[in-house]
Chains A and B, each alone.
Chain A
């Protein structure tokens, strides 16, 4: 940036300095909020994680003890494994549903806004309420799904969906897709609508088939939208807790303990607040790493002016 000579005149300098203060004043509330509600808690969590910190009683400094303990904590590693498994499955499932839906509601057709609303509706239901709703739907005695499966002749007798890992996992996945796909669809829709129609038309005139147009035109142009949708979906899945806590209480034989669930258990069931804090910090690091890797893979930011 080249500085015009006039900028060094005292009057302009003063104005610049005062506008700098003004700018700071404008963002001060935001900074204050972020400091109080994010930075300070993270620092405090970090401090706690270096202690043996029972909920009742006095904390004791143990340095990196909590972090070392993590590496041979079989239950934590199991929780990490399950969370990864869940994140991969649910993200693929959400995109597999949300992408076609986005194409479906993008085109102008009769009742399209009705479709959009209907598909988006589950998103406004809280995750906890949605989980409770599905607990009832999946209830073997008074629910909907088990008697329905039996009526359709798919199962010989009533199947307790939440009693075995596979069916319970499937139920949770279906619930989350039902709940989240509409949101991902809306994000993808904005990406789709941002693609100029001339480009699509030009490609069509050049003889590109639908799949080719999707692969070489739509996908590259939607890179940033995809990045946003992916990061939101993956972060959300890694932080999953409500659905497992409410729907399966950790699943048949503890096989559905996600990382956040494990942190919750350590902190508020076993009262090891220090270890819970250390686990939270580890999770934060993992999340930041994953987001950085994703942004790098999708090359978001390279094409900024």
Chain B
């Protein structure tokens, strides 16, 4: 009897490991991160026995959906999580601790530092870099030429950008000089607008993330710059209510200048070859450039039975082949040691985005969703009220106090 039982167990485990050799990993990815990840999955699925099944979730709902899926026991094996959320999910104890395996990778030391920093919670590694992008400033060379500007000369100050915007606006009815999503898209604004302040040495949160430091002379200056761009009629009226849906407005060919991300470079190059554009770093209010280091971390749901398959897939994305595919579609190399080789032969504009990593920042806070990303959070409200509203002082005052009260309530 015992022997029979042992035999049955052995059989089951053999069958089990047999099944493990061709597993399907369920993975979620947020919308709007471009095609790089989808392409690398496609390549993996054709080349390997294991399959990755991708589910695209709207970026604004990914956190809610993932959290509810965990609560309901329906969570995917892994997901591509906006890196700023990694601390919060790690703190909640929902992610698989990957410290030992991660540190055994020979190239662990050269993985994108800001991703690893955000992926680390209390000395343990829960998230590894998957997609890396930085925010950069882009201009439409065609429109520059039409407006009599030098299409090869990148503007380096906001005075220059404003002057150029006016000249482009003068071209006619539907051509505008500048664009940004200003209607309750906190994520867009933190990505493209805070570099103005960061470059000048200010920040919206203190170093430890426990004090809101919104009201600084630098931020006042940055708000004035955007208000001035609107006052001079260089921004389409739709910007005031764009909640991020039209973030890539530059693709319509009627926008002269816009701050966007490296993923957008990939999208523009592969999907809109008709638009000739240049990229540069986003100038700060006093001219010193900065950038937001964003992108996604690879996180694994705690207790997934497909851990080894997931690890195999992660290693594939870190291989030269995987890195090259992702870079082609706009995700910067996650591995510093082979970055130059990966980008060789690809669009030279990606180099600008890669160089931005050196001056880029990422806020570290457990309340990112509440403070920044929520369409109804203080940051998104502040951007709309301060840039489009009539009461700038009031906008500063209420956002500053609301941010502080959210931080305090979470302590």
Contact = CB atoms under 8 A, between A and B. Distances in A.
A122 B321 CA distance: 54
User: Is the interface on chain B under 10, 10 to 19, 20 to 34, or 35 or more residues?
Assistant: 20 to 34
Interface string A143-165: 00000000000000111101100
A24 B4 CA distance: 54
A249 B238 contact: no
A35 interface: no
A59 to B, nearest CB: 11
Given A250-B375, A269-B369, A56 B94 contact: yes
Given A163-B388, A253-B385, A265-B374, A57 B92 contact: yes
B94 A265 contact: no
Interface residues of A, number: 27
B92 A160 contact: no
B370 A55 contact: no
A291 interface: no
Contacts of B374: 265, 269-270
Contact of A252 (B64, B67, B71, B384): B384
B376 interface: yes
B236 interface: yes
Query: Which secondary structure dominates where chain B touches chain A?
Result: helix
B376 A265 contact: yes
A261 B92 CA distance: 25
A175 to B, nearest CB: 15
A3 to B, nearest CB: 55
A261 B374 CA distance: 13
A99 interface: no
Contacts of B388: 163, 252
A30 to B, nearest CB: 28
A250 B237 contact: no
Q: Which of B89, B183, B369 has the most CB of A within 10 A?
A: B183
Interface string A270-294: 1100000000000000000000000
B71 A254 contact: no
Nearest to A267: B64
A257 B374 CA distance: 13
A58 B240 CA distance: 40
B241 A160 contact: yes
A269 B64 contact: yes
A268 interface: yes
Interface string B80-116: 0000000001001110000000000000000000000
B243 A249 contact: yes
Contacts of B377: 269
Nearest to B398: A253
A162 B68 CA distance: 31
B254 to A, nearest CB: 10
Given A163-B388, A249-B243, A56 B381 contact: no
10 contacts: A55-B71, A56-B94, A157-B237, A160-B237, A163-B240, A250-B184, A252-B183, A252-B384, A252-B388, A270-B369
Q: A-B pairs with the 6 shortest C-beta distances? A: A56-B92, A163-B240, A160-B237, A162-B241, A268-B64, A250-B376
Given A140-B236, A271-B67, 17 more contacts: A55-B68, A55-B71, A56-B70, A139-B238, A140-B238, A140-B241, A141-B237, A160-B241, A163-B237, A163-B388, A252-B240, A252-B241, A268-B64, A268-B67, A268-B68, A269-B377, A270-B374
